[in-house]
Amino acid sequence: MSNYKILGVTAAVLALSASSATFAQDEPKAGTVAPGSLAGQTVVFASSGGIFQDGQKAAIWDPFEAESGVTVLQDASSFAKLRAGVETGTVAWDMSVSSNYLTYQFCGTLWEKIDTSIVDLSEVPPGLVTDECMIPAIVYSDIGVYNADLFPEGPTSWADFFDVEKFPGKRGLNMSADPSPAVVLAALMADGVAPADLYPIDFDRAFNKLRNLDEYIVPWSTGAQSQQQLESGETALAIVWSGRGYGAAKAGNNIKPIWHDWLVAVDSVGIPKGAPNVAGAQAGLNYYLGATQTARLAELTSYGPVNANAKPNLDSLVQEWVPTNERFNTAVYPDIAWWSANWDEFTEKWNDWVTGN
C-alpha cells in the first residue's frame, strides 16, 4: 500500500448484457430497499454524534424507515463498548460507525462480513472499501484548523501548526482513549518527515514532538468537545475531524482549514459480530450507499460522498471544507495495513503520552 497517494474518484460500472436482465433483477442496487420489507423490525445504529449523526439520520435513516417500514434507533458509538458487547454476547447495536483501522484489524472477530448478495459496492469509489467487514461511511479529513481572526495569513503547514512562537495559543488535540494515527502523522511531518517517508512510524520521534507541545495542548476526547473549544476560543488551533471544523465555522466562527498535507480519513460502518438484526443491518448498509443518500449527507455535513455517482449541491461554506478531487493532490493517505499490524504498540505508546508517562 502506498503511504502517500492520490485517492481516485472513478468507480467500477456494473455492466449487464440484455441476456442477463432477468438475473439482474435479483442483484442488489445501492440505495434501494424493498418497500415494507422490514415492517415491524428494529435496527440500532450507533454513530459519533453531532452534525455527522444528525446528517446520517436525515439523509439516510429517515427515508430508510419510510421505505422499508423499519424503526431505526440511534445511539452513541464506542469501540470499547462494542468490543465488550461482542466478547460477552451482549451486543446492543446492529450497525456502528468505527474507524477503518478497527474494522480491518478485527474483521471476522468483532465484525460481521458484508453480504455482497445484499450490499451493492459497485458504485463505491476505488480505495474506500478497505476490508470485508465495512462499507465507507464518509470520506473526510483529520485536518489542522485555526482561528483566522487571530492568524489572518495562516498557518499553512504542520510545521506552522507546531510553531508556538510564530502562532501562539492553545492547540486542541485528540487525547481520547481511542488512539489517533492522525496526531502522530501530523507530529512527524511537523518534525520534518516527508509524507513519502512516514513508514515505518518512529513512535519515539512522534511522541517527543508532541511532548514538546504539552503546555500548549488542550485535550479533547469527543468531536463535540473539539468543536466547542474552537467556538469558545479556548483553542486557537486544533487538529479535528473536518466536519467539526465546518460545524464551528457554520456557527459563525472564523475557523479555516489547512489543506496542505491533510490526512485522508474514511470512517467505516460495520455490523458487530452477533448483532440482533444482521439481515436488517445488511439492508441498511445497502441503502446507505445510494447516490441520493450520500449526496444529501455531503450537503448536510461537508463530508465527502461515498458513491461515485453522487452529485451534491454544496454551498460555498461546505465547499471550503469538503475533500474535493483537487485537494487529494496534497493528501496523505494512511497505511491501514501497517497501523493494524502495529496497533498494540501504538496503543501502549499513545496511553503513555495521554497519561503523562
Residue 324: the pLDDT is 72
pTM: 0.74
Residue 287: the pLDDT is 99
Nearest to 130 by CA among 272, 1, 274: 1
Residue 65: the pLDDT is 99
Give me the phi and psi of 342, to 5 degrees please.
-115, 20
Instruction: Name the residue ranges covered by the structural domains of the chain.
Output: 25-139+266-322, 140-264+330-354
* Cα dihedral 318, 8, 123, 102 sign: negative
What does the DSSP 8-state code read for residue 17?
-
| Helices and strands (H and E) in the chain: how many | 15, 9
Query: Tens place of pLDDT for every residue, the chain, 357 residues?
Result: 333 333 333 333 233 333 333 333 468 999 999 999 999 999 999 999 988 999 999 999 999 999 999 999 999 999 999 999 999 999 999 999 998 989 999 999 999 999 999 999 999 988 789 999 999 999 889 999 999 999 999 999 999 999 999 999 999 999 998 899 999 999 999 999 999 999 999 999 999 999 999 999 999 999 999 999 999 999 999 999 998 999 999 999 999 999 999 999 899 999 999 999 999 999 999 999 999 999 999 999 888 899 999 999 999 998 999 887 678 788 898 899 999 899 899 999 999 999 997
Q: How far apart are CA 107 and CA 110, in angstroms?
A: 6
H-type alpha helices, 59-137 = 62-68, 79-88, 100-105
- Write out the CATH class of domain 140-264+330-354: alpha beta
For residue 185 the three cell numbers come to 502523522
Describe the crossing of helices 343-354 and 203-211 by its angle, rounded to 10 degrees.
Answer: 20
Pick the CATH number of 25-139+266-322 from 3.80.30.10, 3.90.780.10, 3.40.605.10, 3.40.190.10: 3.40.190.10
Question: Measured at the alpha carbon of residue 177, what is the angle toward residues 181 and 103, in degrees to the nearest 5?
Answer: 60
H-type alpha helices, 233-309 = 242-250, 278-288, 291-301
